[in-house]
Amino acid sequence: MISFDIPDALVRSHRSPEGRAWLAALPASIAENLETWSLRPDGPVRNGMASLVLPVVRADGTPAVLRLQPPTEETAGALAGLRAWDGDGVVRLLDHDAGGGVMLLERLDATRPLSSVADDEEALTVLAGLLARLTAVPAPPGLRRLSDIAAAMLDQVPWAVRHLGPEDAALVRTCAAAVAEVLPEPGDRLLHWDLHYDNVLAGEREPWLAIDPESLAGDPGFDLLPALDNRWEAVAGDVPGGVRRRFDLLTDALSLDRDRATAWTLGRVLQNALWDVEDGKPALEPVQVAIATTLLAPRRRLG
């Protein structure tokens, strides 16, 4: 049996009775999966907000990782996405358990996430290139659909605005109006839904590969926000200029119509706003407000 402390982040993320039961069963579950797949532990465990990841070696000597997360609709989507991408720009799925929460994945270099690349433009260009490839793939059947997610968000807006001050409420309504306009064409591509700089690791098969998808079917414009709101310090000196630079680089790389991409990015801001209100936060995150305000402002004409 390997010994490790349950990371604090996982304790915070899995507070429900089911989550706590899952945490308590983790050591036994790891032992069982090591045995089932004939794996040998090979280094310290890692984690994100949701999952525990153990480096392992397979019986044939190949390095891999065992990734454990409580099985949910998200892990089912992740499996469907990983299968459809089949390693193209993304970590390869080697096997998984019946419930879908335990995955055996190709090992990448966890010490070299894309967030460790100092140059913002370079990191963004890598992220944009991966996003363009991933979102070019049609979504397989059975995935959650952006149309359903967006419609459910719009239903929540009247409730959410009652919990916000007038300026935040107005911004939420503006985002909702933008989403309502594009909702009839929700898109059918395979989205990652969480492609930020720590969800890209250096690999050997390809210099950079995505991990940790929460796939859904929809418009690629809905996938841009993590590339806009992370590494915020790099745009902090000139927020409108920096956000525009990022947005233009992303929409060029993905060949997206800027108006539609703006609408779906506002949809993503709306989603974050609704999650914040659900969590009892009294105001929207300033970074989210800054991104929405920048994208809503008219573009200055080049002289």
Q: Which residues bind Mg ion (CB under 5 A)?
A: 48, 199, 212
194 is catalytic: yes
Residue 212 is a binding residue for ligand ADP (CB under 6 A): yes
105 binds, among ligand ADP, Mg ion, none (CB under 5 to 8 A by kind): ligand ADP
Residue 82 is a binding residue for ligand ADP (CB under 6 A): no
**212 vs 229, which CB is nearer to Mg ion?**
212
28 binds, among ligand ADP, Mg ion, none (CB under 5 to 8 A by kind): none
CA distance 49 to 19: 13
Residue 104 is a binding residue for ligand ADP (CB under 6 A): no
Residue 50 is a binding residue for ligand ADP (CB under 6 A): yes
Touching ligand ADP, residues 222-261 (CB under 6 A): none
Stretch of 49-57, 120-128, 164-172, 249-257 contacting ligand ADP, by CB under 6 A:
49-57
Residue 110 is a binding residue for ligand ADP (CB under 6 A): yes
CA distance 197 to 231: 8
Residue 68 is a binding residue for ligand ADP (CB under 6 A): no
Residue 211 is a binding residue for ligand ADP (CB under 6 A): yes
107 binds, among ligand ADP, Mg ion, none (CB under 5 to 8 A by kind): ligand ADP
225 binds, among Mg ion, ligand ADP, none (CB under 5 to 8 A by kind): none
Residue 292 is a binding residue for ligand ADP (CB under 6 A): no
The catalytically annotated residue of 60, 168, 194, 223 is: 194
Residue 91 is a binding residue for ligand ADP (CB under 6 A): yes
Residues of this chain that interact with ligand ADP (CB under 6 A) are: 46-51, 53, 65, 67, 91, 105-108, 110, 198-199, 201, 211-212
Catalytic residues, by residue number, are: 194
